[in-house]
Structure 1
Amino acid sequence: MAAPPPVMTGATPLVRDITVTPAMCGYNSLFVGQVGDWTWQTVSELCGTDAFTARDETGAPTYLAFYYYHLRGSAEMHLRRFTFGDRLRVLSAAYGYGSESVLTLHRIAMADTPAARARELDPVEFYERPRADCLYVETFNRWVTRSVARSNRDLVRSTPVDFRHEHLPTLPERYSPRAVYHRARTARTFDEDFGGASGGGEVGGGAGGGELVVDGHRSTYRVDPTRDLNGVGLVYFAAYFSIVDAAVWRLWQFLGRGEDDYLAMRITDERLCYLGNADAGTTLGLTSRLRRRPSGAEVVDVVVEEHGTGRLIAVATLQVGAA
């Protein structure tokens, strides 16, 4: 009987020393995309397969699709913190979730800070005791392939023939993202303090509840073939962040806020669950909700659906400020 994989409270990560270039920063999804590349590179290096050219047992291309993406930062270290020439130390490690999935953690610190001296990626720090001077990213990916040629609907699971995962450490069950993204699918939010009420007043049963400011703000977005598709014709995972950003910007405008307010946002936590893909030209319906915490932080939910059918495409929850 084979021994189970080790349960790790820490892992020896891949270490990257990065200089931030214009192509990986800004008020957009460029840095999100860069971290996604680090996920694919990490899996390629640790799991025996080339994620960029992987094929399943039928010879069909299979893609390491993003299913859940979590950014966790602070008012000091957040997604829009980075600019030209910043030097970063990035630690990346992969964790086993069977033959069809893999979880990757990234810990990002400025190279000239004490945080950059770490050589171990500790999940306890990541999930329970995050440092204010680090940005943390968790990605959960599934191998998928097309079930119908040239269509982005009905993607199916399909593992590369050379994908190796048995040697990867596993995380304690309390850190599994499964319960987290299950809530996103069923409740249309990642916020555990939100009870689903509509209208004004206090929502949620915990200390994190707050005033429901806007509920059900709606807009649309048409998948743009000039900017949203990746090299294999799927809606690029980072484009989902831009689509969510478009919904947030329209919500800000609805509230009477201007460009300066939008650009001043510090997103201290953002979670996104990917539940479907779409073809170029598809119209998406975006439904947004805003709550204000007692701390002053604002929480925004964005639900992305296929317009006309209601097919759920993605759910995102952002916390702006106060972390």
Structure 2
Amino acid sequence: MPHLSGNGLSEIWLLKELGHRHWLLLAESAGRPAPDFRDEAGQPVYAAFCALSIEDANFAAARANDRLRITSSLARLSRTQMSSRHHLAIEDRPIGVVTMISTFVRRAPDGGNHTVARVAIEGLPPVGEGTSASKLAGLAAGFRAGRVERHMGFDLHRESELGTWTFNPCPSLDFNGAGFLYFASFVVMVDRAEWRFEPVLARAVATVRRDVFFYGNVDRCETVTACLLARREPTGALIHHCRLRRGSDGAVIGDVFTTRTVADRVTTETVGGV
């Protein structure tokens, strides 16, 4: 049952699946049989995610043997940025919309994950008119430039560190085939931090909204620290902002804003091997 978690549709499985679909859509858009992108020197080019947004989610509605329908589309936002949008439904009931924005990058000559350069790819369709993803792309640019003052009800200038949790990403679990810390692993670390700072409520919640902004990456054997900067505590919900920092130099590599509410069911039995 890789598609389900204890409280409905597995968000981490979903993000991995949509990341894969995004990658295949890029190849299709460029008229290629496979997503093997390279620069003029023949070096690999990757689609690094800049931002993703989960909206109007009802992941708790998913049950075993349900059919999940994913309707996906792709648009070009700029010279190097592409966006995909994925509408999710079970039995014609919408259960969420996921927007993902990526930019084409290549590694620096030293081969590390700290520095990458943006690359333009030939053969892609022209930049389209403003789409629903354009707002998210503009917001992501604002976060990278430090211009955003409020988001999802949080005043970013009034936040303070409420707690920190350090993780040592595992190469066989948290990194992808390109050797980068996989974008879904950013969410995994925030959820593990949530499990530590609110274990009672965390066992019963499912995501209804999540915005993630990516700024950097880590090399193998580097730690990542999740910093809880703000939270609100309405009844039956977990709403918080976590920031991810690279252990080696303290650089901010991501901001994650999350709203999760108590699911209408909670798995109370654990069955090994299922």
Q: State the TM-score bracket (shorter-chain normalisation).
A: 0.7 to 0.9
| Segment drifting more, 298-307 vs 287-296 | 287-296
- Pick one of 91, 99, 116 that aligns with 2:79: 99
Query: Counterpart in 1 of 2:43?
Result: 60
Task: Give the 5 Å matches for 1:264-303.
Answer: 264-292=204-232, 297-303=237-243
How do residues 9-24 of structure 1 correspond to structure 2 at under 5 angstroms? Answer: 22-24=1-3
**Secondary structure of the structure 1 residue equivalent to 2:96:** strand
Partner of 1:134: 95
Number of aligned pairs?
257
What is the distance in 1 between the residues matched to 2:150 and 2:103? Answer: 20
User: Amino acid of the residue matched to residue 95 of structure 1?
Assistant: A
Q: Of Structure 1 and Structure 2, which has the larger fraction of its residues in strand?
A: 2
Q: 2-side partners of 1:49 and 1:98: how far apart?
A: 20
Query: 1:294 Cα deviation (Å)?
Result: 6.0
What secondary structure is seen at the aligned counterpart in 1 of 2:24?
helix
Separation in 2, partners of 1:305, 1:96: 30
Unaligned runs of 5+ in 1: 1-21, 116-132, 200-214
Closer/same/farther in 2, CA of residues 51 and 302 from structure 1, 3 Å limit: farther
Which whole-Å deviations, capped at 9, do the CAs of 1:268-300 have from their partners, x for residues lacking one? Answer: 100111111111110112111343266864421
The equivalent residue for 2:22 is: 39
Which amino acid letter does the alignment assign opposite residue 246 of structure 2?
E
Aligned to 2:125: 165
Give the residue type in structure 2 aligned to 1:60: Q
Distance 2:187 2:49 in 1: 12
**Are residues 1:147 and 2:108 paired?**
yes
Alpha-carbon contact 1:306-1:312 (below 8 Å) kept: yes
1:37 aligned counterpart, secondary structure: helix
Distance 1:38 1:229, change over 3 A: same
Report what 1:242 is aligned to: 188
Query: What is the aligned partner in structure 2 of residue 108 from structure 1?
Result: 88
Which structure 2 residues correspond to residues 143-222 of structure 1 after superposition, within 5 A? 143-162=104-123, 164-166=124-126, 169-172=128-131, 175-185=134-144, 186=146, 191-195=151-155, 196-198=157-159, 215-222=161-168
Question: Residue 249 of structure 1: CA displacement?
Answer: 1.3
Q: What letter corresponds to residue 86 of structure 1 in structure 2?
A: D
TM-score normalised by length of structure 2:
0.82
Letter of the 2:103 partner, please give it: R
CA offset digits 1:94-153 (Å, max 9, x no partner) = 12212211011111111x22x5xxxxxxxxxxxxxxxxx331000000001111344111
* Paired residues of 2:152 and 2:257 also in contact (CA < 8 A): no
Tell me if the contact between 2:228 and 2:241 (Cα under 8 Å) persists in the aligned partners. yes
Q: Residue in 2 aligned with 1:124?
A: none
> Does the 8 A contact of 2:101 with 2:133 survive in 1?
no
Query: 1:265 and 1:295 mapped to 2: Cα distance?
Result: 12
Normalized against structure 1, the TM-score is what?
Answer: 0.71
CA contact (8 A) 1:98 1:165 kept: no
Please give the alpha-carbon distance, in whole angstroms, between the structure 2 residues aligned to 1:44 and 1:217: 42
1:266 to partner: Cα distance: 2.0
Report if the CA contact (8 A) 1:146-1:152 is conserved. Answer: yes
Larger Rg over CA atoms = 1
1:86 equivalent to 2:45? Answer no
Decide whether aligned partners of structure 1 residues 138 and 37 sit closer, same or farther in structure 2, where only a CA change above 3 A counts: same
Give how far 1:182 is off: 3.8
Alignment RMSD, CA only?
2.8
State the identity %.
Answer: 21
SS of structure 2 residue aligned to 1:181: helix
The letter for the 2-side match of 1:99 is: R
The secondary structure found in structure 2 opposite 1:151 is: coil
